[in-house]
Structure 1
Amino acid sequence: MSASAANLRTLVLNADMQPVSWAPLSIWSWQDALVALLKGRVYPVASYDDIVVRSANRSFEVPSVVALKAYHRRKTLAFTRYHVFLRDEFTCQYCGHKALAKDLTFDHVTPRSKGGQTVWSNIVACCQRDNLLKADLTPKQAGLKLRRQPFEPTPFQLDMIARRIPQANNELHKTWNDFLYWDAELER
């Protein structure tokens, strides 16, 4: 196996042939996918062309897409910075500026010093400028207005947002496209 193959990843589909998660995209290392395949937990859907791994007495194609045999329903979401940014569509909830995750921070709508908690309903994505402007004040005290009240999203809501955000083409293998963009307009 070549050194470049060591970094290959496998798209994981649910039993309904949709990604288990869009936020973030459900991806395993090819090694984890091959182990799951050998243990009978997943079906192979697609493999990388001309990439094979060998054991002492067998050869295996490296899976690029696998599907779970049993449907997996996500009930809860981890409360993470990425999920807050995704819920807010990488947009400052005060000025509306879209930014990369590295250029965003999160803001306590009601500051911690005023009893605000670090929970879904009190945290929003915020640009650096507005975060400094708001400081330890409420939005009203700082002369800012929230574009949308923060809320705890469902896994379905986050997945729908994530589907609208384009993936960098270099992150996606060509065998994944058929499973990621069912609702995309076909090329003519």
Structure 2
Amino acid sequence: MPDGGSHYPALVLNADFRPLSYFPLSIWAWQDAVKAVFMDRVAVLSEYETEVRSPSVSMKLPSVIALKEYVPSARRPAFTRFNVFLRDCFACQYCGDPFPTHDLTFDHVVPRSKGGRTAWENVVTACSCCNLRKGNRLPRECRMWPRNPPRQPTSWELQDNGRAFPPNYLHESWRDFLYWDSELEG
């Protein structure tokens, strides 16, 4: 019997054969994928060599599945720290350098003490050094302007940005399904 699912995750595609999410990548544990197969909610597109057995049934574990009913994505993404980082491609909007998530903060372009709100239109990704340097000042006071003006992204933009950051684990059977809709270089 397979382990708790960490070695046999199934890539989950929407009914249009695109991942439900690129970042984080939409994957299910093997148990959830098998259950969805038996409930006839998904189509199996690719399988692992590993099988699971019951007294009456034997089946290969699904590695790629597609939902039979299309699930529309949210029109407005949630305003979260992670989604701000994803919108800004994990790069400080002041110095332009990319950083791992644990080294990022977010900055209120108009500080809260000066009436700035904690909202898409006023928050940008910043490294600790730039955030400290800007402090509690307006961009014109410290001559630090964000490279990209803060704004609310669409869900599609966040998904598109997420495609640039592949997960640590990609099974070979997933590759064709993850990037088939990418623009080809000429």
- Give the TM-score taking structure 1 as reference length: 0.88
Q: Which residue matches 1:173?
A: 171
How many residue pairs align between the two structures?
A: 183
Q: Which residue matches 1:149?
A: 149
RMSD of aligned residue pairs (Cα, Å): 2.0
- Give the superposition deviation at 1:23: 2.8
Letter matched to residue 72 of structure 1? V
Runs of 4+ deviating beyond 3 Å:
2-7, 183-186
Secondary structure of the 2:161 match is: helix
C-alpha distance 26-4 of structure 1, shift in aligned 2 (>3 A): closer
Is 1:12 aligned to residue 39 of structure 2?
no
Secondary structure of the 2:174 match is: helix
The one-character-per-residue Cα deviations of 1:119-172 (angstroms, maximum 9, x if unpaired) are 111111101101111122222222211111111111111122222x1425x410
- Give the superposition deviation at 1:3: 3.6
C-alpha distance 149-12 of structure 1, shift in aligned 2 (>3 A): same
Work out the CA distance in 1 between the residues paired with 2:184 and 2:154: 27
**Structure 2: which 5+ residue stretches go unaligned?**
none
Is 1:63 aligned to residue 62 of structure 2?
yes
Work out the CA distance in 1 between the residues paired with 2:170 and 2:42: 20
- Give the superposition deviation at 1:184: 7.0
Structure whose residues are more often helix by fraction:
1
Q: Which residue matches 2:100?
A: 100
Is 1:29 aligned to residue 29 of structure 2?
yes
Q: Which residue matches 1:47?
A: 47
CA contact (8 A) 1:23 1:83 kept: no
Work out the CA distance in 2 between the residues paired with 1:20 and 1:4: 22
C-alpha distance 89-133 of structure 1, shift in aligned 2 (>3 A): same
Identity %: 46
Q: Which moved more, 1:64-73 or 1:29-38?
A: 29-38
- Give the superposition deviation at 1:4: 7.7
Work out the CA distance in 2 between the residues paired with 1:162 and 1:60: 33
Work out the CA distance in 1 between the residues paired with 2:153 and 2:94: 19
Letter matched to residue 63 of structure 1? P
CA contact (8 A) 2:23 2:165 kept: no
Q: Which residue matches 1:73?
A: 72
The one-character-per-residue Cα deviations of 1:25-71 (angstroms, maximum 9, x if unpaired) are 2112222222122111111111111x112234322321111001111
CA contact (8 A) 2:44 2:64 kept: yes
Work out the CA distance in 1 between the residues paired with 2:26 and 2:123: 25
Letter matched to residue 52 of structure 1? E
